[in-house]
Amino acid sequence: MSPAEARHVIVADLGFGDAGKGTIVDWLAGRAAATARPARTAAVLRFNGGAQAAHTVVRADGTSHTFAQFGAGTFAGVPTLLTRHTLVEPLALAREAAALAALGVPAPLDLISVDRAALLTTPLHAAVNRAREAARGGAAHGSCGIGIGETMSYALDHPDLALRAGDTESPSRLRRRLLALREWAATTIQTLAGAGLPGAGGAVPLPDVNELIRAYRAFARRVRLTGAGELARLAAAGPLVCEGAQGVLLDEWRGFHPHTTWSTTTFANALELLTEAGVDTGDVCRLGVTRTYATRHGAGPFPSEDPSLAPLLPEPHNGTGRWQGAFRVGHLDLVLLRYALEVCGGVDALAVTHLDTAAAAGDRLKVATAWRAGGTRITRLRPGPFADLAHQRRLTDLALAATPDLTAPGRSWPGLLSGELGVPVAVTSWGPRSGDKHPPTMDFSPTREDRGRVPVP
């Protein structure tokens, strides 16, 4: 099923992130808004990740915004629901709303609502995150430094104290939970520093709890908090565009451990939410997004990496981050794409982005059809049992040791991807603006022969 045929669409990145999900969501939201009257009967659903998302959308006039918590359909006037599977950072949300207002978006906070069950990420989580990552030194896992992993870890270890959006409505509960959180942060940072770990003492000062309470109470007064039934109401009112964060290869259980995120980056969360809301999954298109070449931000295995490509592949919205590390580029990797498709349960269609960049790079871009490791040719990575991190670590070791078999694509990028992966291409992107997105002008549906190449569940 293509996005044009489905009522609802789930968008997921099939790589390590940065594939262009934001531009695809912007295009889909614009189309949904055009068919929904008023536009606000359509909605964008955020179903994983948090304020570390960086989904850049460029408008027709060249102005742009990198969406973090607001959905990438905001410029199209489509509201966002941050579901219980997202992590909400109220201070960053206020800053993002101010940035959107400066770009001419009227009353941005009227375009967002938050599930009361969503966990809150705070500067306290961020302080511990940065101290812990600094303490790893040369063995850093890769992090955005915002506190995403610490938010999830704290909630798992202290389920009765974890701070959630709904707690901002109760001053007494908010204070009690923030005080416990601050004590945990101070103790954890002190422990890291006391262990003599390099860099652990460089954490930012911990914020005052009273200041946080004032800010979070203002959040509760200004942002619409929702509960059970909101998603069913939205699904009945109009089309939903479910916007994923990061990429399938960073998934907490299926990614290359330990260089992963504390988030389920597959379609699973979105399908769970839609099913709970009574949505017929037959009305849902699972859209996988991939560039015409591979990228990775920060540490972790990257078999097809080729730094010599960097001058040919301009990246105006990505660069080296203090905590993320360098932005890396390489050749399209069919081994990783096949693995991503298999562990996320397959896709209904593909969106292929950065075709303009690939055209400019010409014949320098290749495709990795297989890996070589220990004298073995590898075309498929075997998924292990769910949540088996020992297996995921073995995949990491394999990827670190692998070298790619690189060949010329031999045909158009959409044709190559559709044929090799056995999935139709529904959207092609020739630039960052919504107007640069097109349904394919040729039929890139896989042939019967192509379908037999890759077993996609």
Beta bridge mates, 403: 372
For the chain, which residues make up each domain, given as ranges?
8-114+227-451, 120-225
Tell me if 261 is assigned to a ligand binding site: yes
Place of tokens 């630039």: 431
Spell out the SS3 assignment of 53-66: CCEEEECCCCCEEE
Tell me if 431 is assigned to a ligand binding site: yes
CA distance 437 to 60: 12
pLDDT > 90? residue 196: no
The separation between the first and the last C-alpha atoms of the chain, rounded to the nearest angstrom, is 15
pLDDT > 50? residue 278: yes
pTM of this structure: 0.91
pLDDT digits (tens, 9 = 90+) for 323-381: 556 889 999 999 999 999 999 999 999 999 999 999 999 999 999 999 999 999 999 99
Range with the lowest mean pLDDT among 36-45, 376-385, 408-417?
36-45
Tell me if 333 is assigned to a ligand binding site: no
- CA torsion angle 21 293 324 338 (round to 10): 80
pLDDT digits (tens, 9 = 90+) for 111-155: 999 999 999 999 999 999 888 877 765 555 555 678 898 999 999
H or E stretch covering 286: strand 284-291
pLDDT > 90? residue 299: no
Look at phi and psi of residue 137 and say left if phi exceeds 0, alpha if psi is from -120 to 50, else beta: left
Query: Once rounded to an integer, what is the mean pLDDT over residues 152-162?
Result: 95
Tell me if 104 is assigned to a ligand binding site: no
Query: Once rounded to an integer, what is the mean pLDDT over residues 103-107?
Result: 97
Tell me if 412 is assigned to a ligand binding site: no
pLDDT given at position 444:
63
Beta bridge mates, 445: none
pLDDT > 70? residue 176: yes
Tokens standing for 454? 């890759």
pLDDT given at position 298:
83
pLDDT given at position 3:
86
Query: What separation in angstroms does the CA of 330 have from each of 48, 293, 321, 352?
Result: 26, 6, 19, 16
H or E stretch covering 33: helix 21-35
pLDDT given at position 322:
59
Percent of the chain past pLDDT 90, that is, above it, reads 77
pLDDT > 50? residue 448: no
pLDDT given at position 192:
85
Confidence class of residue 38 from pLDDT cuts 50, 70 and 90? confident
Q: Residue 380 contacts by C-beta under 8 Å, 6 or more apart in sequence?
A: 335, 338, 339, 342
Residues that are catalytic: 18, 55
Q: Which DSSP string corresponds to 69-133?
A: SS-TTGGGT--EEE-TTSEE-HHHHHHHHHHHHHTT-SSGGGGEEEETTSEEP-HHHHHHHHHHH
Domain 120-225 bears CATH identifier 1.10.3470: no
Domain 8-114+227-451 bears CATH identifier 3.40.50.1820: no
